[in-house]
Structure 1
Amino acid sequence: MATENYSIKDLEKLSGIKAHTLRIWEKRYGIIKPGRTDTNIRYYGNEELKKILNISLLNQHGYKISAISEMNDEEIAEKASSVGLFSQNGSTDENLLLSLIDMDEQLFNITFSGLMMKRGFEDTIISSIFPFFHRIGIMWQAGTINPAQEHFFSNLIRSKIIMATEALNKHPETNADVALLFLPEGELHEIGLLFYNYALRARGYRTIYLGQSVPHDSLYRVITICKPNLIVTGMTNPITSKDFMAFSQQLCEFAPGLNIYFTGPIPAGVRDILPSNARSVKDLLSLMQITQKA
């Protein structure tokens, strides 16, 4: 479990405000008050982080730090909410971050709906949510969020993608191409695959979605039954070049006449020696362009 103790460098990374500036604000205005460990090391808790994020929002929208310093915590949070939730000029990442840290589903839904109104569902996921997941990964590795917070946020996004897929209410034509989507054994992070499933359905494909951690031995039977026109798979867990080549070769031999799209990071040195029907996809937009119907 990650602690709720942040260094001033953590605050800098999460808020975008330089550590030097934070120290000046702390000394001159007393805006945040660090705690101290038994060994006298300064640290900041979740309340300080949330306050700094709110101050960052206000500062971005023209409030001077001298004026902010005269507000109490409730006034800062209230004004940040009023300028942040309905702003047309950014603040999205801060609101997403606040919803993650505070596990605030209402704030997340308001922020997500605002993005949807401006960008539409697909661009919201590609341009805002997936880059934010990258940020979450860095935070998780640094110990600034805990697994429960990451699961909370991931499940909110998972739910949004599933609902959007159901809302398509789109019946593919009888001769529509079939896309088979799955993650290999041990792969559990299916948010990207769920979005591929949505995007392919939106483009008229009939999709067969198998989801996470599919036993390799069952794939040949599935391919025989479904007769897909293409296969989409991928992995996020670390894998050696040797193991990746073994997996890709076996899968490509199962379906020699199909293009098989491998998403996610691929070990260095194997991209140029993949089987002839293997396709490396570097990001979401690449697959969408490759599979875009005329």
Structure 2
Amino acid sequence: MNEFTIRDIENLCGIKAHTLRAWEQRYRLFTPKRKASQHRIFDDNDLKELLRISFLYHNGYKVSKLAAMTAQEIQHAVTSTIIRDDNYELFVHQMIEASISFDKEALDKIINSIAIRIGMEKAIVNVFYPFLKRIGLLWLNNNVIPAQEHFASHIIRKKIIMATDGLEIPTGEGRVILLFTPKGEMHEIPLLAANYFFRRQNNPTVYMGVDINYDTLCYYLDRKPADYIYTHIITHFDDEKLDDFLCKLSSDYPQKKILVSGPATCCIKKLPSNLTILHTIEDMLNFARETAKTT
């Protein structure tokens, strides 16, 4: 059984900690356990209940009404609510609840339903990324063991690969985009998502994957065509080594355009002329669309 702090609940449910405390004191909406230090702690069942309360609250239910409802009535209200296609917060809540419980069947069904309702691109941008960000916050605070993050990530990874395989093979002589992450960078979902975005716009791609040795990358680039080199970097480099790596890549392949995204881009101090930073997912989507127009 996991334990969550009130800050964890805030991050997961989207309700401020001071609001949660007020609901507890005024409406007795929930009764958290207490540590010896008197700090509130919440378990898996508390989280699931508060996710449902949060959903109803964000869909117009008053707190006083929620406080008067039983857990069964709250559950019924959630399942009876007409869900709009743009109700991304509910989808995130559903994925969190299934992941915390290691409920593979439920998570599979939720992800499939989301992809069918809003499409894979919107699912990645508006549901999968926010979900992984929240789960990541718990992992950083040691409140979710890595197994739970890996459990959810594996299923998302599989769904993105299946969606990409279902796309039509790019036709014509388009500009080829090579995708990789450097040695030591193991986060694959952002790379898979980028590959999906590029392919969906009919851009030819070469997917090399994660944790690629520089010599291996060069071996391919020296023998096969690639107009763009794309990488996503999250945590692997310190500031100076990141600049050194990108400057070397740009210098070794001056005729190719280097594209970089990920949290580590905020640390880039040197910007070679053939290097472009994609600061946001929208930047990446715009690049995919514009590149498709020029092929």
Give TM class, smaller chain. 0.7 to 0.9
Name the SS for the 1:112 alignment partner: helix
Deviation at 1:172, TM superposition (A): 2.6
Alignment counterpart, residue 288 of structure 1, candidates 271, 285, 291: 285
Aligned to 2:41: 43
Aligned to 2:199: 201
- Cα-to-partner distance string for 1:22-76 (whole Å, 9 max, x where unaligned): 3454456544332233455442211111111112223344545455445543443
| Amino acid across the alignment from 1:116 | A
Structure 2 stretches of 5 or more lacking a match? none
What TM-score comes out, normalization by structure 2 length?
A: 0.84
Aligned to 2:276: 279
Structure 1 stretches of 5 or more lacking a match? none
What are the within-5 Å matches in structure 2 for residues 101-112 of structure 1? Answer: 101-112=100-111
Moved more, 225-234 or 110-119: 110-119
Aligned to 1:146: 145
What are the within-5 Å matches in structure 2 for residues 217-256 of structure 1? Answer: 217-256=215-254
CA contact (8 A) 2:92 2:130 kept: no
Deviation at 1:187, TM superposition (A): 0.5
| Amino acid across the alignment from 1:235 | I
Cα distance, 1:41–1:278 mapped onto 2, change above 3 Å = closer
Once residues 211 and 238 of structure 1 are traced to their aligned partners in structure 2, the CA distance between those partners, rounded to angstroms, is 15
Report % sequence identity. 32
Where has structure 1 moved over 6 Å in runs of 4 or more? none
Deviation at 1:185, TM superposition (A): 0.2
CA contact (8 A) 2:164 2:196 kept: yes
Cα distance, 1:38–1:241 mapped onto 2, change above 3 Å = closer
CA contact (8 A) 1:240 1:267 kept: no
Cα distance, 1:36–1:145 mapped onto 2, change above 3 Å = same
Q: How many residues align?
A: 288
What TM-score comes out, normalization by structure 1 length?
A: 0.85
| Amino acid across the alignment from 1:262 | V
What are the within-5 Å matches in structure 2 for residues 139-218 of structure 1? Answer: 139-168=138-167, 170-218=168-216
Deviation at 1:240, TM superposition (A): 2.6
CA contact (8 A) 2:4 2:43 kept: yes
| Amino acid across the alignment from 2:75 | A
